[in-house]
Amino acid sequence: MKAHVVVMRWFTDELTAGRLRVGDQLPGERALAEQLGISRNTLREALRVLEVLGAVETGTGSGPRAGTRVAASTGAAISTVFRLQLATRQTTPEDVFRVRLALETHAAAQSDPARGDWEAAEAILEQMDDPQLAVDEFLRLDAAFHVCCSRAAGNALLSVLMEALRLVIADHTLERAAALSDWPSTVARLQTQHREILDDLRAGRGGDAAARLERHIAGYHGLTEPAATR
Ligand SMILES: [Zn+2]
């Protein structure tokens, strides 16, 4: 078995058994290497992999934050993997569109108004009202608004996937924005739709919000269809 597999197995076993929790410090390098029967150098390399995955973080110096600790920020690694999938063309932008549609309409249908951070969602929309906002900035905030709304579904995995898709969605919608001839009127329409979706979610009308989201996302997709494939 490869050394990093040994370390990964030990790490997940410890977490699953509850012997390690997020924020806990890992055992010292020397003791852990001995326990796993690998060299300290190999252990260090394996820990680097866990760090890149966002599963551990390494503090510096001494004190309570020093050493290697269990972290829960694997979302960034998933986001990187999604972007690599697109860059290597294993995934197409059309796949992104369909998956976000499925995730977001499902999230809206499962949405609980008590769980949503509606003030944060509203604050994003207010930023998007700024007429000076560049197209890429607007679409970056647009993706953030959608991620924020989807959290009200209370599904941790769905939230991680949506957060990981945030940059991919922003890139994808920006790429397609070139097909739009009248940006200001697009902004006005999108913002009206966003506020209707938010109103529905806040009022507990998840089914209505899901239908509106479908029209909102598919509508933009249809409008920005590249001329060659229209
Ligand atoms: Zn939107």
Q: What is the per-residue pLDDT across 163-176, written as a single tens digit (0 to 9) for each?
A: 989 988 998 899 88
Give pLDDT tens digits for 124-160: 999 999 999 999 999 999 999 999 999 999 999 999 9
- Which two tokens mark 221? 């997709």
Query: What's the CA-to-centroid distance between 142 and ligand 1, angstroms?
Result: 5
CA distance 158 to 164: 10
Neighbours of ion ligand 1 (CB under 5 A): 142
Q: What is the dihedral of CA 99, 103, 109, 110, to 10 degrees?
A: 160
Query: What's the CA-to-centroid distance between 219 and ligand 1, angstroms?
Result: 10
User: What does the mean pLDDT of the chain come to?
Assistant: 91
pLDDT of residue 65: 59
pLDDT of residue 109: 97
What is the reported pTM? 0.83
3-class DSSP state of 57: strand
Query: What's the CA-to-centroid distance between 124 and ligand 1, angstroms?
Result: 11
User: Would the pLDDT of 230 be above 50?
Assistant: no
Query: What's the CA-to-centroid distance between 146 and ligand 1, angstroms?
Result: 6
